Amino acid sequence: MTAQDLIVIGRLGGQDADGWFKAMIKPGFRRHFDELDKLYLIFEENRVFYLSISERKESGRNCWLMFAEDGVSDERKLHREAYIAIDQEEIETDEDTDELLGSDVVWQDSILGCVVDVFDNGAHEILVVNTTPDIEIMIPFVEHYVRPTKAGEPLILSNMTDLLEASQLSFSDGVLTEDAEI
């Protein structure tokens, strides 16, 4: 295996007093990450560790990990950045997008619509959401707009006001409407 066979899915943050490492995972890989029991850590100077996740916990929006192997703490202190990566063969992006299709999308405690398409714009995935009354809106599939959820749960949106205004849309009483042109 070479470095080209690995896909960076996030970053490893610092360690707390109890030995837990904070994991910051890209939204498009969150579902894969929840199923992982092993991962690669890539440090500066091309140092790569293959590690087993011994424990994981979630606290609010944060994910925390403990590793079965020793030495991660010492190595992490030596490097400014540590990237979490997985083998390309462990993921199939078509299956990921298929899992999102048909997912309900919730904003302000109301179902906004459902995902009818997902595409990659080169920077991140874009969700195409069909709403009632038959308005399509494109939402970047990033943590700023889509909160982390478990597989099969509705997608919860946040920070949508500016995106809706830019799209000349408004949302009130659980209904999305197109703003009248000036």
CB 101 within 8 A of CB 155: no
Residues 73 and 14 in one domain: yes
pLDDT at site 89: 74
Structural domain harbouring 114: 99-170
pLDDT at site 156: 92
Q: Give 34-52 pLDDT, tens digit per residue.
A: 888 999 999 887 789 999 9
Residues 37 and 106 in one domain: no
Among 91, 121, 155, where does a domain finish?
Answer: 91
Beta strands in the chain (DSSP E): 6-15, 21-25, 38-43, 47-59, 62-67, 82-87, 104-107, 110-120, 125-131, 135-140, 155-156, 169-172, 175-178
User: Is the confidence at residue 95, as pLDDT, over 90?
Assistant: no
Q: Give 164-176 pLDDT, tens digit per residue.
A: 888 888 888 777 8
Residues 86 and 117 in one domain: no
In-domain check, residue 9: yes
pTM: 0.52
Residues 15 and 87 in one domain: yes
**Beta-strand pair 155-156/82-87:** unpaired
